[in-house]
């Protein structure tokens, strides 16, 4: 849902007027931010119940109308309720706001989920990533809540005491546009407009968007920028250095947002630039104060003892899982981790950060809008704004098959997966793809080389749009299967000119590993008889700065650091402007594991490698199909294409698997 200019009358389900009947609202979490939000919602005309864990805090909220530990000196509005009982807080609530530390989100959401009203809207008002896997708050909520629950994000520049005192504040409300049904989409739209009108009474203005990814990335990473900015303040590096840190931090936000399928334009609003400016520029911010302490040489333990261990410290650690999964390096996060974990001095870490090379900027995709008369099979062009050197990218990107965006993107391995199963099963898959070709993008992602894949493309009745070959080390896109310049630069940077010679020289010490006859430009591949034979070679290759991959119990690949099928697929989607949330991946061996680790919806075919099956046992985004090869792909593709998103797809298949 994009920003809306006109505000119609209040939709049913929100307050009809200032003095009219109100719908119950629950705010879970009675810290400074949760209490401030509860106060604002109460002032706007709703009946709000604030849930807290501590009985003494609930007693103060009830008897003193204050939260002395978090918002001293502020009197809360009359009528605001408080309780330690989750069931009492959620009883009949049509809006539930979770304003908790990110570390407490999953446990609270799991407890709350069975108590939610069927038509409740659930908003995450916390900023950060889940520690174990780097999940965004809405991803945690989706794991815990019913698939039909309407989930969203409330984020933006907002010091809690100012919100509690009723001072003007502008926030971002992000609700998904891609919903299982038209009725739910209408409900989301009506809810957003109603909440915007209601909160305006409490001096809170809402920007509306459907980009929950950018809203959450901006809210989490700005805390890291504030810590680094505080360290620079403590070191007396000046305003120029702080401005440079903010610039690098904004670029980190942009790159992570794009890698996760969000839009960088969203970061220009309150949830990005606005929140970043407020947090990094003010000593009133807990994260900035933490940075000041770290910059003065206080360790993490001292900061925690002083009560200054803010969300940014946790985010610096949590986002590392995302960086590894996506093949990214977030420079400000790395700087903060150096001080927190590696005991580097603040001057050393800041010097490295300020001298870091800028990341290349990929031009943003803008998809042209075709009229209904133009939609009959023609290709919508992806127009790219950028330097003349990106003309090859423009030509390659024009193969995206959609009027606005494809409904489904299938990124599939070949041997054993797309080409697996019986001839009849392969034919059924090809026929389904041909029947839905105008609304589907087909990407082959294989360990095979480009020559083989391009020859196969000429022989199949359906031609793939893009080819990712050589275990992610080569990419060819569009009708001419042309390389994408930004991806070529990334791949070349990870594979120096002398890489092959260094690898071959070192591998002479491991004659038990036999070189494969086919040699690829950016990888070297060997055969083994026993995985134990690879231990020494793996150690040596990692020492040289390369990654290794074992698959199908016989292949040993040496790859550029951070390059495999999954990271390359994500970068290809980003470069072509294709939405990650509409992408289904399919595979059968360990060299497909990195695709499943991206968090994209996935299907592991029935004839999958045992080692892959063990590796994905706890991946909630992957359906482990009982069917072989093409039959698995077709089964998953039909369901995913119908539902249009990962959540219904995965839940439906969980139910199917439970019945097996």
Catalytic residue among 127, 222, 381, 565: 222
Residue with tokens 């134990």: 532
The residue among 96, 103, 352, 302 whose CA lies nearest residue 220 is: 103
Strands 169-174, 121-124: pairing kind: unpaired
Residues in the chain: 660
Residues 225 and 245: beta-carbon distance below 8 Å: yes
Strands 440-445, 466-469: pairing kind: parallel
Report the run of H or E that residue 172 belongs to, with start and end. strand 169-174
The residue among 314, 291, 313, 293 whose CA lies nearest residue 302 is: 293
**CA 181 to mean position of chain CA atoms:** 23
What is the distance between the alpha carbons of residues 214 and 261, in angstroms, rounded to a whole number? 9
Residues 446 and 591: beta-carbon distance below 8 Å: no
Strands 24-28, 440-445: pairing kind: unpaired
> Which ranges constitute the DSSP H helices of 169-211?
182-200
The residue among 184, 172, 178, 151 whose CA lies nearest residue 219 is: 172
Residues 250 and 244: beta-carbon distance below 8 Å: no
* Residue 583 Cα distances to 156, 408, 575, 596, 602, angstroms: 29, 6, 14, 11, 9
222 in active site: yes
* Residue 338 Cα distances to 269, 357, 586, angstroms: 30, 18, 37
What is the distance between the alpha carbons of residues 570 and 566, in angstroms, rounded to a whole number? 6
Two tokens, residue 2: 């994009």
What are φ and ψ of residue 246, in 5° steps? -60, -40
The set of catalytic residues is: 222
């Amino acid at each position: 849902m994009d920003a809306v200019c006109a505000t119609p009358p209040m939709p049913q389900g929100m307050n009809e007027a200032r003095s009219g009947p109100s719908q119950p609202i629950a705010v879970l979490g009675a810290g400074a931010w949760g209490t401030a939000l509860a106060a604002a919602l109460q002032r706007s005309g709703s009946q709000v119940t604030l849930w807290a864990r501590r009985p003494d805090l609930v007693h103060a909220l009830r008897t003193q109308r204050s939260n002395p530990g978090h918002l001293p000196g502020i009197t809360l509005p009359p009528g605001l309720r408080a309780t330690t009982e989750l069931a009492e807080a959620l009883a009949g609530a049509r809006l539930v706001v979770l304003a908790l530390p990110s570390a407490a989100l999953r446990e609270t959401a799991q407890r709350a989920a069975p108590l939610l009203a069927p038509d409740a809207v659930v908003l995450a008002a916390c900023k950060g990533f889940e520690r174990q896997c780097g999940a965004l708050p809405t991803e945690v909520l989706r794991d815990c809540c019913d698939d039909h629950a309407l989930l969203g994000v409330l984020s933006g520049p907002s010091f809690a005491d100012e919100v509690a005192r009723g001072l003007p504040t502008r926030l971002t409300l992000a609700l998904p546009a891609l919903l299982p049904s038209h009725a739910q989409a209408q409900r989301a739209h009506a809810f957003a407009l109603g909440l915007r009108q209601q909160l305006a009474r409490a001096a809170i203005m809402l920007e509306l968007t459907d980009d929950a990814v950018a809203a959450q990335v901006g809210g989490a990473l700005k805390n890291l920028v504030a810590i680094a900015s505080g360290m620079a303040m403590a070191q007396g590096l000046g305003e120029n250095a702080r401005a440079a840190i903010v610039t690098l931090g904004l670029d980190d936000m942009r790159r992570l947002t794009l890698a996760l399928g969000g839009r960088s334009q969203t970061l220009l609003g309150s949830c990005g630039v606005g929140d970043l400016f407020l947090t990094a520029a003010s000593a009133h911010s807990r994260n900035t104060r933490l940075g000041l302490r770290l910059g003065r040489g206080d360790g993490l333990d001292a900061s925690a003892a002083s009560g200054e261990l803010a969300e940014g410290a946790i985010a610096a650690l949590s986002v590392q899982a995302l960086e590894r999964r996506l093949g990214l390096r977030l420079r400000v996060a790395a700087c903060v981790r150096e001080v927190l974990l590696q005991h580097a001095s603040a001057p050393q870490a800041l010097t490295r950060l300020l001298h870091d090379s800028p990341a290349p900027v990929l031009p943003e995709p803008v998809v042209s809008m075709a009229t209904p008369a133009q939609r009959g099979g023609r290709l919508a062009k992806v127009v790219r704004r950028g330097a003349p050197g990106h003309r090859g990218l423009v030509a390659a990107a024009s193969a995206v098959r959609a009027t606005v965006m494809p409904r489904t993107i299938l990124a599939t391995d070949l041997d054993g997966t797309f080409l697996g199963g019986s001839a009849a099963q392969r034919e059924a898959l090809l026929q389904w793809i041909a029947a839905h070709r105008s609304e589907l993008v087909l990407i082959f992602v294989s360990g095979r080389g480009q020559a083989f894949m391009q020859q196969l493309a000429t022989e199949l009745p359906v031609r793939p749009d893009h080819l990712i070959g050589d275990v992610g080390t080569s990419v060819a896109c569009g009708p001419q299967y042309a390389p994408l310049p930004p991806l070529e630069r990334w791949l070349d940077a990870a594979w120096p000119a002398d890489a092959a010679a260094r690898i071959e020289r070192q591998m002479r010490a491991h004659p038990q590993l036999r070189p494969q006859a086919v040699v690829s430009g950016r990888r070297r591949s060997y055969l083994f008889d026993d995985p134990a034979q690879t231990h020494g070679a793996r150690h040596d290759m990692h020492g040289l700065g390369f990654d290794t991959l074992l698959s199908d119990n016989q292949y040993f690949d040496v790859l550029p650091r951070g390059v495999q099928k999954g990271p390359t697929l994500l970068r290809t989607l980003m470069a072509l402007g294709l939405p990650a949330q509409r992408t289904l991946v399919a595979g059968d061996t360990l060299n497909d594991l990195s695709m499943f680790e991206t968090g994209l919806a996935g299907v592991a075919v029935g004839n999958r490698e045992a080692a892959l099956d063990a590796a994905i046992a706890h991946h909630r985004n992957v359906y482990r199909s009982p069917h072989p090869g093409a039959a698995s792909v077709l089964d998953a593709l039909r369901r995913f294409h119908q539902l249009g998103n990962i959540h219904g797809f995965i839940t439906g298949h969980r139910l199917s698997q439970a019945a097996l």
